Structure 1
Amino acid sequence: MNKTKDSLLALIRNGSRMTLGEQLRLTVILSIPSIIAQVSAIIMEYIDAAMVGSLGAKASASIGIVATTTWLFWGLVSSSATGFSVQVAHCVGAGHNDDARSVMRQALLAVTCFSVVLAAIGVGLSGVLPVWLGGEEAVCSGATSYFRIFAMSLPLLQLYSLAGGMLRCSGNMLVPGVMGGVMCMLDVVFNFFLIFPTRMLDVAGMTIVVPGAGLGVTGAAIGTAMAEAVAMVVLMWYMLRRSPELSLKGPVGSFRLRAGCLRKALHIGLPMAGERVVLNCAQILTTVIVAPLGTAAIAANAFAITAEALCYMPGYGISEAATALVGQSIGAGRRRLTRSFAYITVGTGMVIMTLMAVVMYVFAPQMMSFFTPDDAVRSLGVTALRTEAFAEPMFAAAIVTYGVFVGAGDTLIPCCMNLLSIWAVRLTLAALLAPTMGLHGVWIAMCVELCFRGVIFLVRLWRGKWVKV
């Protein structure tokens, strides 16, 4: 499969004609490892959440109350990496691997400095953040500890994101995909020993003593950071030593930032970062809307968001493939092929996520039972998931189309579209419906907004102006 992928990618870079079958085959080859990585990640997150959920609703709420803020910081880390990764896709598509290595070296310096500053800000906010978000006193202590450790690990997360993004944009989906799955498995293993205290387990009729640190929510944060560290080291090693397009074998070259590269990174990444800030502020505001509904609603909201991810993670996997394919086609100067890959990837994402939505609707009770034994939390979560299932096809359109636009280096207008959608539609409806319909009203608002977002993204994709960027 790897040889087939390389030969098909070479057709893009060489300017050779590609049949529809070859385009479909390349899309599938690049999408499968990324989809598997995304799905395995969310399955491991299921297990992770179930471990914390077994400690009770308060432990789950401790993580749930700061979840949207962790997404904000993760989005900033991802945006800074994407600003450089898309440049790598364009350079590789044009056959300029030396330029791709130059971009990578500059990126290492720039994003490391950025993540250290971001980590300092996060640590400074950790003590007051749960209070600002309206968390109950019993929840705030665990939430502060969890977020502080998360913030301290941001440089690890930044380098992991950069190495994975650059490898994907160079056409290597397999290594980042495998390491994504490995990281999630390590997270579960570390959490198994860090969350729970030393206990006795019956295994095949034998009673064994399992050591444990008994750190609860704090242990979950430490376990995640340790897993990120291992995955980051492996990806960085592969990128710097083994990648045909990016490795630094021989003369290393300069790491000095150049105005042109930084300007392009800001052109691509800055709108995404701004979008993440405003978008996650909106999600934080959603948390503020949910918080007065009680601990059960906070926990159900967090669990439902995690459960829904199983449905939409394949969309993000295909979106990553779309970014690589469109980016390399743009770099090679092949506009017609660019549009063809855009339509293929978006259509594939919508079909797969529609099937996943059916699964989510049917098995919503079983999915929520996996997370928590609390009947009230389960009931709220099932209603939320079945409401959201109707939005998944259009959510797929928005996710994959956004990846197409990123690959073209066109981020400003799509970011504005996202912001318009969530602020004008989701938050307005959520604020109106939550007082009378509770958590169900919040998720109805989310469903309506995702359908609206998918429509406007499809319209812009069809009009084709993004190809001229």
Structure 2
Amino acid sequence: MMSPDSPSARVSLLTRLTRGEPLSFGQQLKMLVFLSVPAVLAQISSTVMQYIDAAMVGHLGAGEAASIGLVASSTWLFYGLSMAAGAGFSVQTAQKIGAGALREARNIAGQGLRLTFVFSIIMGALGALISPFLPELLGGSPEINVNAAWYFLIFALFFPAVQLNGTVTGMIQSAGNMAFPSFLHVVMCVLDVVFNAVLIFPGCDLELPFGVLHLPGAGLGVAGAALGTGLAELIIAGILLFYLLRRSPVLKKHPDEQTRFVSRDLRSAVRIAVPVALEQMLMSGAYITFTVIVAPLGTVALAANAFAITAESLCYMPGFGIAVASTAIIGQVAGAGLFDTAKRLGRMCVSMGMLVMAVMGTLLYVLAPEIIGVMSQDPAIRSLGTTVLRIEAFAEPMFAVAIVANGVFRGVGDTLIPSIFNFASIWLIRLPLAALLAGSFGLPGVWFAMTAELCVRGVLFLRRLLGDSWIRRFREKAAKNAPS
């Protein structure tokens, strides 16, 4: 049976490219598609998990749905910091693999696993400590604060599993294997459905032709949604870790190799991760501020906002999948010294992302009532959620530029300027405009502000992509570090 890392068409095209073999335009496009599709499926599956939680909890009532929406921006902050911590090591791993330095790649992966796990323990403990006070700080009403606190507490306790899942996935993907972790993320969605069904709702009796079937249920409500997702994350993280350490042909642990902490690797990880972490903190702070702007608009607006954000993420997750693939591709190609090829592939990745997300934006506009309707039967929530989704759908192509170009830049360790772009556009455009429009136009005004900001951000990233400063700096660093 072929291993997921074996030289299949998906992997061999990238390997041939990093070895200096010429590939036609068609072969390069095929490589991008084959590596992107599994990553897209993985990103969609993670969003489907949020969609599942929202849909299942939404059937309990608007208050329960709003309680998850209230702390959603805070969980995004933790997810973002988790991603930043893992990126500091997975980007270097891809670059070393592209350069053929496999022993160094394995050592970087070992350092990353240890340090990110320690980081996740600290962050999980911090999240648990602030969970009782967080909903009130976010402006939540008393009727939803208790459920919101329980949801965030359980999320924080499972955060080490979230971090391990993300870090190991990034390591495996850095070796060019998108398929195996993507498959497991789909499995994680299935587990989430099963666990949620058992944990959210109370048990019931189902009448069948051959008798009565008792379906077990814990009836934990919002807390059950958090617990179900956490258990699914934990199981998949364990499987991924086993594969990385025991089965991955490129990165599995060798008996004669011991992980050594190398100051150069740690400095590079900090240089890559810190701008991303600061960006995630500032952007999540912006999302929290965004929630604070929406919260006074009422429970219906808060629930509609939460559902619309979850639904819209189904639209842009393909862009994030392409971005993940582009980071691995550009990292390996640039690590092999093929700088002009990396620049060309980066533009191809962004073009593909724009096309995919333009299609997704069209579907989002057309299917908005049905998408919101799955998560809530409340007519007011459905109407408001549909309106704001249709406003934002027009921004998807330019949002794709920002998402995928960010992944391209990250492949060469260029994280500072993109982080500044993300921070400045949200804090200087989205939030002031949202605060200005919320009073007169309510939630639709807030989402118009989001749409305008995403378009501006896309323009900033596109201008940088079309230049060569992002690849030139990596080329200069590679020349400086090359043996004389």
Matches within 5 A, 1:127-138: 127-138=132-143
> What is the TM-score when the length of structure 2 is the normalising length?
0.95
The separation in 2 between residues aligned to 1:7 and 1:280, in whole angstroms, is 38
Amino acid of the structure 2 residue aligned with 1:366: E
The unaligned stretches of length 5 or more in structure 2 are 1-5, 475-484
Alignment correspondent of 2:350: 346
Aligned residues: 468
SS of aligned partner of 2:261: coil
Amino acid of the structure 1 residue aligned with 2:183: V
Alignment correspondent of 2:66: 61
Matches within 5 A, 1:278-317: 278-317=282-321
The separation in 2 between residues aligned to 1:116 and 1:211, in whole angstroms, is 33
The alpha-carbon deviation at position 430 of structure 1 amounts to 0.2
Amino acid of the structure 1 residue aligned with 2:128: V
Matches within 5 A, 1:192-231: 192-202=197-207, 207-231=212-236
The alpha-carbon deviation at position 203 of structure 1 amounts to 5.3
Amino acid of the structure 1 residue aligned with 2:327: T
SS of aligned partner of 1:215: coil
The separation in 1 between residues aligned to 2:96 and 2:428, in whole angstroms, is 38
Contact residue 49 and residue 229 of structure 2 kept, 8 A: no
Alignment correspondent of 1:248: 253
Offset from partner CA, 1:185-234 (integer Å, 9 cap, x none): 11111000000011123457854211100000011111111000111011
Amino acid of the structure 2 residue aligned with 1:454: G
Alignment correspondent of 2:482: none
The alpha-carbon deviation at position 258 of structure 1 amounts to 2.1
The separation in 1 between residues aligned to 2:324 and 2:16, in whole angstroms, is 20
Change over 3 Å in CA distance of 1:325–1:54 after alignment to 2: same
SS of aligned partner of 1:438: helix
SS of aligned partner of 1:200: strand
From 154, 157, 160, give the equivalent of 1:155: 160
From 439, 464, 472, give the equivalent of 1:460: 464
1:268 aligned to 2:272? yes
The separation in 1 between residues aligned to 2:72 and 2:10, in whole angstroms, is 37
Contact residue 85 and residue 116 of structure 2 kept, 8 A: yes
Alignment correspondent of 1:447: 451
1:327 aligned to 2:331? yes
Offset from partner CA, 1:320-377 (integer Å, 9 cap, x none): 1110110001100101110111011100010011011111101111111100011111
Matches within 5 A, 1:44-55: 44-55=49-60
Amino acid of the structure 2 residue aligned with 1:408: V
Amino acid of the structure 1 residue aligned with 2:370: Q
Runs (4+) of structure 1 exceeding 6 A deviation are none
The alpha-carbon deviation at position 37 of structure 1 amounts to 2.1
Superposition RMSD on alpha carbons, in Å?
Answer: 1.2
Amino acid of the structure 2 residue aligned with 1:346: V
SS of aligned partner of 1:363: helix
1:164 aligned to 2:184? no
Amino acid of the structure 2 residue aligned with 1:160: N
From 397, 402, 409, give the equivalent of 1:398: 402
1:409 aligned to 2:413? yes
Change over 3 Å in CA distance of 1:204–1:372 after alignment to 2: farther
Contact residue 11 and residue 177 of structure 2 kept, 8 A: no
The separation in 2 between residues aligned to 1:343 and 1:111, in whole angstroms, is 31
Alignment correspondent of 2:425: 421
Alignment correspondent of 2:189: 184
Moved more, 354-363 or 197-206: 197-206
From 21, 39, 55, give the equivalent of 2:26: 21
The alpha-carbon deviation at position 411 of structure 1 amounts to 0.1
The separation in 2 between residues aligned to 1:269 and 1:248, in whole angstroms, is 24
Contact residue 304 and residue 382 of structure 2 kept, 8 A: yes
Offset from partner CA, 1:294-345 (integer Å, 9 cap, x none): 0111100000001111111111111111101100011001011101110111
- Identity of paired residues, percent? 49
SS of aligned partner of 1:416: helix
